[in-house]
Chain A
Amino acid sequence: MKKDQNLARLLVMLAVVFALMAALRPGQFVTMANFGSMMRQFPEYGIMAIGISLTMITGGIDLGVVGTANLSAILAAKLLIGAVPRGAPPEQALPFVALAALLALACGLACGAFAGLLISRFKIPAILATLGTQQLYTGIAIGITNGRPQSGLPLLYSNLGNTEFLGLFPLSFLIFLLAALAIGLMLSRARFGTCMYMLGTNPKAAQYAGLGNASILVRTYMLSGLLSSVAGLIMMARANSAKAEYGTPYTLQCVLIAVLGGIDPNGGFGKIAGVTLAVFILQFLSSGLNMFNSISNFYRDVIWGGVLILALVVNSLLARREARLAVRRGARATRA
């Protein structure tokens, strides 16, 4: 019941933001061009937000998603640039593109597994472990590239990334939908999803129930790493290069999306449907704000920070009210 209310609230918020932007900038906001550009922008951070949400459901957090994404993309870019000669025909480039994508995904899994091991085996709190991995992965990415962008990717790669289905939906958008659907189904239907919720609600109880907390945590962070590397591949296609410092503000945005979408930072609650709606809300806000020339880019930081805190406050007040109502309902039941 609670989660449905949360979804309803998010839908209302989405409609309000949409109506506001449409009313203030009708000529610019409600256009095919704007929708097309929005569909290209949000998949990369939306996918990372799903990854962070998963780790938050288990009561942790993954602050290393951006580092993982960039490191994976850089490895893929290095392989592509090294293996495919300039101007090679697509048939010749195709196997290497597939290989590079696989390398990136493997790198994401490894990065996630490392963070998961630090958290589950070495008992480092998730915040510190992933602050560390974020530095480490970004640092390795800077180290192997000397901080320079990796460009000169084969044409096939960016062409693939910019493919549009039905002349409208970019590939990255479809990947986002697929990821959201798959992770959403996993959380609600699969045994592993239930395990994650139980671990997030009460790790000690989960331990005594024999769920195998360490293995759940490692797999959760591996999933987050995998999603991050997918985001990295998308960023690489959009920028047509890879760099250690792409997407730095995404960490905060992703945490914001997760919290706004109803994921409880203390673990145990939240749905991917909420996160997806929060991604849309954020993108509408972001694209809308872009249409006001007087609003400096720095105000974006203010707005993201403000919205994050506001979402936290509102969620906590609502949770409190619900708890009070539940107590009252309980009291009435005992009296009757």
Chain B
Amino acid sequence: MITARRILARSEPWVLAAIVMLSLLIQARSGQFFTGNNLVDLARALIVPGLLSIGCMMVIVSGGIDVSFTAIASLAMYVTDKILLQSGYSGNVLLAYAMSGGFGLLLGALYGFLIAFLRLPTLVVTLGTGSLYTGLMYGAFAASASDVPPSMIAHGKEILFTATNAKLGLTSEMPSQILILVGMLALAFLLLRYTMLGRGIYAIGGDEAAAERAGFNVRLIKMFLYCFVGALAGITGISRISMMAYADPSTMLGMELTVIAAVVLGGTRVTGGLGTLTGTILGIALMTILANSLILIGIPTYWSRAFTGAVIIIGTGVTARQIASATGRRRELKKTKGGGA
């Protein structure tokens, strides 16, 4: 009884239930949801926001918020792309990942320093760096849609398997980049669960002063966190342009809102200290299904933005209420215990 209640007090089962209901609704309306090619298409659409959500979730767990990771991803991938194109590089795509990840790390380190060592508020800092990085990309690098090196095109064509929809004659290909998402999820899982660093991220989000007293090096952990987020964003950028086979500087800008909404929807506590990767991926899956199926469920395209806004508000509202009632319950529990003693 208690375990059932504890499970239902979390957000993951509710998000899962919402995904199932929505899938059934779309299936009933279009008959096209549970087809191989639709599911593969959804998985494909999930890769980039999924990768971005890992870093975003870790930042929110630590009690911060980051609105500039898409700017990092765009700038890092664009600079990497330009350098590789101009040098006529045709070797392994791993170098592109390493370079973009490295640039991302540097860009993340810049605001990581401001946040960790100068203790500046994360939202205002990342608003600033976001504008700075996008401005650099369009101003200093005069960014516009451009080609990608051959190795990236080849990388984008690596297909794991192909799903065919016999009825409509549509085929969808599962890109190999999904393996990067799986690998990064595994890495983040191990980091958050089994390392002192990962526990430190949760500890800081729970109570920074307490974490410091408990012996966590709060500054170093925060510094690491933003470097990690930056590197991850850089890697995501390369995956994105490889899959698209050309480098569009604006392709990821603006995605940060949906990603933040999905992370919060997935049960990550907005004030920090709580959050799971399972919930985050479920949240991303829900947002992806919603975004890909708005027309199928009968919402005109002009209203899609209002719809995103409503989902953000309802999703964060529900989670915020849940947290409020959970802390309320804990307080009551304490009271009754105190009365008994």
Task: Please determine whether A313 and B120 come into contact, CB atoms closer than 8 angstroms.
Answer: yes
Instruction: Identify which of A118, A137, A140, A305 gathers the most chain B CB atoms within 10 Å of its CB.
Output: A305
For A313, give its contact among B118, B309, B324 (CB under 8 Å): B118
Task: Please determine whether B307 and A308 come into contact, CB atoms closer than 8 angstroms.
Answer: no
The answer, yes or no, to whether A301 is at the interface (CB within 8 Å) is: yes
For A304, give its contact among B131, B257, B300, B312 (CB under 8 Å): B131
Rounded to whole angstroms, the CA-CA distance of A142 and B136 in the bound complex is 30
Q: What sequence of 0s and 1s flags, for each residue 298-321 of chain B, a beta carbon within 8 Å of any chain A beta carbon? A: 001011111111101100110011
Instruction: Identify which of A266, A302, A313 gathers the most chain B CB atoms within 10 Å of its CB.
Output: A302
Across the interface, name the chain A residue whose C-beta is closest to B256. Answer: A131
Task: Please determine whether B119 and A316 come into contact, CB atoms closer than 8 angstroms.
Answer: yes
Task: Please determine whether A312 and B125 come into contact, CB atoms closer than 8 angstroms.
Answer: yes
| List of A residues within 8 angstroms of B264 by Cβ | 128
Task: Please determine whether B139 and A305 come into contact, CB atoms closer than 8 angstroms.
Answer: no
Task: Please determine whether B138 and A309 come into contact, CB atoms closer than 8 angstroms.
Answer: no
Task: Please determine whether B138 and A301 come into contact, CB atoms closer than 8 angstroms.
Answer: yes
Rounded to whole angstroms, the CA-CA distance of A301 and B130 in the bound complex is 9
Helix, strand, loop or mixed for chain A's interface? Answer: helix
| List of B residues within 8 angstroms of A137 by Cβ | 309
For A139, give its contact among B124, B304, B317 (CB under 8 Å): B304
| List of B residues within 8 angstroms of A90 by Cβ | none
Task: Please determine whether B135 and A300 come into contact, CB atoms closer than 8 angstroms.
Answer: yes
Rounded to whole angstroms, the CA-CA distance of A136 and B313 in the bound complex is 9
Task: Please determine whether A302 and B320 come into contact, CB atoms closer than 8 angstroms.
Answer: no
Rounded to whole angstroms, the CA-CA distance of A296 and B138 in the bound complex is 9
For A135, give its contact among B128, B140, B302, B305 (CB under 8 Å): B305
Rounded to whole angstroms, the CA-CA distance of A54 and B124 in the bound complex is 16
The answer, yes or no, to whether A87 is at the interface (CB within 8 Å) is: no
Q: What sequence of 0s and 1s flags, for each residue 119-145 of chain B, a beta carbon within 8 Å of any chain A beta carbon? A: 111011101111111111011101000
Shortest Cβ gap from B218 to chain A (Å): 17
Shortest Cβ gap from A59 to chain B (Å): 11
| List of A residues within 8 angstroms of B134 by Cβ | 298, 301
Across the interface, name the chain B residue whose C-beta is closest to A125. Answer: B270
Rounded to whole angstroms, the CA-CA distance of A252 and B302 in the bound complex is 25
Rounded to whole angstroms, the CA-CA distance of A136 and B310 in the bound complex is 6
Instruction: Identify which of A128, A139, A303, A306 gathers the most chain B CB atoms within 10 Å of its CB.
Output: A128
Task: Please determine whether A309 and B114 come into contact, CB atoms closer than 8 angstroms.
Answer: yes
Please report which residues of chain A, range 63-83, place their CB below 8 angstroms from some CB of chain B when the two chains form the complex: none
Shortest Cβ gap from B292 to chain A (Å): 18
Task: Please determine whether B306 and A139 come into contact, CB atoms closer than 8 angstroms.
Answer: yes
Given contacts A131-B260, A131-B312, A302-B136, contact A255 B317 (CB under 8 A): no
Q: What sequence of 0s and 1s flags, for each residue 238-270 of chain B, a beta carbon within 8 Å of any chain A beta carbon? A: 000000000000000000010011001000001
Helix, strand, loop or mixed for chain B's interface? Answer: helix
Rounded to whole angstroms, the CA-CA distance of A61 and B123 in the bound complex is 10
Q: Size class of B's contact patch?
A: 35 or more
Shortest Cβ gap from B303 to chain A (Å): 4
Rounded to whole angstroms, the CA-CA distance of A142 and B133 in the bound complex is 28
| List of A residues within 8 angstroms of B140 by Cβ | 299, 302
Q: What sequence of 0s and 1s flags, for each residue 241-263 of chain A, a beta carbon within 8 Å of any chain B beta carbon? A: 00000000000100110010000
| List of A residues within 8 angstroms of B308 by Cβ | 135, 139
Given contacts A127-B65, A299-B139, A316-B120, contact A135 B306 (CB under 8 A): yes
Task: Please determine whether A135 and B317 come into contact, CB atoms closer than 8 angstroms.
Answer: no
Task: Please determine whether A296 and B313 come into contact, CB atoms closer than 8 angstroms.
Answer: no
Given contacts A124-B317, A132-B313, A146-B302, contact A308 B114 (CB under 8 A): no
Rounded to whole angstroms, the CA-CA distance of A313 and B111 in the bound complex is 11
The answer, yes or no, to whether B164 is at the interface (CB within 8 Å) is: no
The answer, yes or no, to whether A208 is at the interface (CB within 8 Å) is: no
Please report which residues of chain A, range 112-140, place their CB below 8 angstroms from some CB of chain B when the two chains form the complex: 118, 122-125, 127-129, 131-140
Across the interface, name the chain A residue whose C-beta is closest to B324. Answer: A123
| List of A residues within 8 angstroms of B124 by Cβ | 255, 259, 265, 308, 312
Which B residues lie at the A interface, using CB under 8 A?
65, 114, 118-121, 123-125, 127-136, 138-140, 142, 257, 260-261, 264, 270-271, 300, 302-310, 312-313, 316-317, 320-321, 323-324
- Please list the 5 inter-chain residue pairs (A to B) with the smallest Cβ-Cβ separation, ordered nearest first: A139-B306, A301-B135, A136-B309, A135-B309, A305-B132
20 A-B pairs (CB sep. < 8 Å): A61-B123, A129-B313, A129-B316, A132-B316, A134-B309, A135-B306, A136-B306, A139-B306, A140-B306, A143-B300, A252-B127, A266-B121, A298-B139, A301-B138, A305-B127, A305-B129, A309-B132, A312-B118, A312-B120, A313-B120
Known: A128-B312, A309-B114, A312-B120. 16 other contacts (CB 8 A): A124-B317, A125-B316, A125-B320, A128-B264, A131-B260, A133-B309, A137-B309, A142-B306, A143-B305, A146-B302, A252-B128, A301-B131, A301-B135, A305-B132, A306-B128, A316-B118
